[in-house]
Amino acid sequence: MVPSSIKSLVFLAVAGLVNLVAAAPVSAQGTVRRHLVYFRDKAGSPYSVAQPQEFLSARSVARRNRQGIAVLPRDLPVNPAYVAQVRGVAGTQIHYTSRWFNAAVVSCDSATLVRVMALAPVRSAATLNRSFRDVSPTAAPTQVPPAAARGTLATRAQYGPAYRQNEQIGALAMHDAGFRGEGMQIAVFDAGFPGVDQISALQPLFQEQRLAGTRNFVDGGTSVFLRSGHGTNCLSAMAANESGKYIGSAPKATYHLCITEDVSSEHPIEEANWLAAAEYADSVGVDIISSSLGYTTFDSPSVSYTYADMNGRTAISSRAATIAAHVGILVVNAAGNEGSSSWRYISAPADADSIMSVGAVDSLGNHASFSSFGPTSDGRIKPTLMAMGRAAAVLSPNGAAYRGNGTSFACPILAGMAAGFWQANPTLTAQQVITALRNTASQANTPSPALGYGIPNFVTAYNALNPNAPLSSKNNKDLDGDALSLFPNPTGDGAVTLALPSVLRGKPLRVRVLDARGAVVATQQVAATASSTAGLQLGRLAKGNYTCEVSTRDARRTVKFTQQ
């Protein structure tokens, strides 16, 4: 599939993605092509599910543990002895392996492939030479005039052209409540990220050390500030943070950037790249995958998908996305831009089960004509949710803001809100996050093939889960302008004082302190007081950034502070 605005949605099946390409003919002798080589088993592996720390990061294991997800044999790496046997065949090059599909992507010619197939550990192989044809009705983002100003001018001035797309899903109130993605990790799969290291609105990623990893699965290595600017567009919708110019939906999250798509190629190797990137995201402990990619039609001699294949079990990318969801990652994927084309329906991997597939609406909440329709071929409701994808504001590689069309943009806008929502409700599982947003969205009771469950809203979903400490639907400040504050800030190990807005005075208070990951590290009950201040004894906290949440039965306020 192509990034909703460029050819990028093609996915290649890596290590285990071979099923999708199994029908492709073997390459002619002498011509080196990439093949997906499956192994028979994981027998004799030096790895064990009892010691996951040998192949998964502590953060990855912790994500599973929080959600009650066991490490399974499918998580074990490919047996290195099997890989060595393939590598020992002259004329082969192994690009990467897949734990989940017990396979490897291997470059060789057809004669060499015959020798590889003769190895005892090898079960089967398929040539990854199917081509991709772009059928997107929006081949490139379309620049349009800015929408007429609405809402609070000061807020609009801070967020710039990103104001409405954040407001529509409640992200403005989410940010005011103190949830901007702190401690959450998001992997972005796309076709390139040129300019990210230069754009002023993205410099906080580097200054605050929130760019945790980069991987280039097309060229190899870790260089990602190159190739297509589509990834830059999508990243900016979440990560940009420059007051007065542009603020994205998760401006304080931590990011991993992965190039999986080669816009100059028309082969499904990109699907394998997607799988490899998903396994990388799993291994480093990513919470959310934001992927504005998809696949439908391929050039001859490759066999194109049909609508019947959009069942969540056929496409390589869909199978990979489903496993990513099953290991506790919240997978957010663009629904596709096929709504006005002969294809019409969602693309892969948006058809995957247990993921959030995102369609596009305009600023008024109307279905964008290009946004792909559901349901899946087996009758499941898709898209899952909607966000602004018509005339959505993004940043170009030169840092300029413009408006474009595509579910590619709706996807990261909503992924960023989901990150803040999960941060605000850290005990939820990934599946519970999807359920909470879906069950409180605008069409929760009447889902449709065009809009799915509709447009979610952070405040509505949060209040449904926290009825005793609801958020204001407007913002986190009193109508008279008072806000909760804490001093001294930064704090030490002694007492601290809360400066209480009028809405919190004269009522018993519940105080919670959350760390950057959203975990509660301290709680305290404070007796009702008519005073404008209240003292706290927070105990000994580790150095770092924290959120202090103060609530009554009918009001809630938060304030950020730093422990030195």
Question: pLDDT tens digits for 444-464?
Answer: 999 999 999 999 999 999 999
CB atoms < 10 A from the CB of 278, how many? 30
Give 87's contacts (C-beta < 8 A, 6+ positions apart). Answer: 94
Mean pLDDT of the region 166-175: 95
Helix, coil or strand: residue 156 = helix
Q: How far apart are CA 320 and CA 313, in angstroms?
A: 10
Give pLDDT, residue 23: 30
pLDDT by residue (tens digit) across 420-438? 999 999 999 999 999 999 9
Q: Is 197 a catalytic residue?
A: no
Q: What is the residue-averaged pLDDT of the chain?
A: 86
Question: Taking 50 as the threshold, does the pLDDT of residue 510 lie above it?
Answer: yes
Q: Which range is least confidently modeled, 136-140, 143-147, 333-337?
A: 136-140
Percent of the chain scoring above 90 in pLDDT: 66
The reply to whether 175 belongs to the active site is no
User: Of 164, 150, 143, 273, whose CA–CA distance to 220 is shortest?
Assistant: 273
Which residue of the set 230, 256, 267, 367 is catalytic?
230
C-alpha torsion sign, points 362, 365, 366, 369: positive
Per residue in 4-38, pLDDT tens?
Answer: 444 433 222 222 333 333 333 333 457 888 888 99
Task: Quote the pLDDT of residue 84.
Answer: 97
- In the structure, what pLDDT confidence band is assigned to residue 131 with cuts at 50, 70 and 90? very low
Between CA 418 and CA 395 the distance in angstroms is: 21
> Please, which pLDDT band fits residue 547 given cuts at 50, 70 and 90?
confident
- Specify whether the CB–CB gap between 270 and 12 falls below 8 A: yes
Q: DSSP characters for 60-124?
A: HHHHHHHTT----GGGSPPPHHHHHHHHTSTT-EEEEEETTTTEEEEEE-HHHHHHHHTSTTEEE
pLDDT of residue 467: 85
Which span out of 177-181, 268-272, 320-324, 489-493 was modeled with the highest average pLDDT? 320-324
Looking at residue 265, its pLDDT comes to: 60
- The pLDDT value recorded for residue 129 is 61
User: What does the domain layout of the chain look like in residue ranges?
Assistant: 33-129, 160-426, 485-563
Average pLDDT over residues 52-65: 96
Query: Is residue 479's pLDDT more than 50?
Result: no
Alpha helical stretches, state H, 230-303: 230-239, 269-284
The pLDDT-based confidence of 143 (bands split at 50, 70, 90) is: low
Residue 554 falls in the annotated catalytic set: no
Whether residue 105 has pLDDT greater than 50: yes
In this prediction, residue 140 carries a pLDDT of 43
From residue 262, give the alpha-carbon distance in Å to each of 107, 203, 316, 391, 546. Answer: 17, 26, 17, 26, 40
Helix residue ranges, H only, 440-545: 458-465
Q: What mean pLDDT is predicted for residues 95-120?
A: 96
* DSSP characters over 447-459: -BTTTBT----HH
Given the residues 318, 408, 472, 551, the one annotated as active site:
408
Which pLDDT score is estimated for 485?
78
How would residue 132 be classed by pLDDT, with cut points 50, 70 and 90? very low
Confidence (pLDDT) at 472: 63
Do 406 and 337 form a contact (C-beta atoms < 8 A)?
Answer: yes
CB contact at 8 A, 420 and 181: yes
Does the domain formed by 485-563 have CATH 2.60.40.3080?
Answer: yes
Report pLDDT for 47: 97
CATH 3.20.80.10 fits 160-426, yes or no: no
Q: How far is 276 from 418, CA to CA, in rounded Å?
A: 24
Task: Find the catalytic residue in 75, 134, 190, 351.
Answer: 190
pLDDT above 70 as % of the chain: 87
Which stretch, 127-131, 193-197, 305-309, 471-475, has highest mean pLDDT? 193-197
Check residue 372 and give its pLDDT: 98
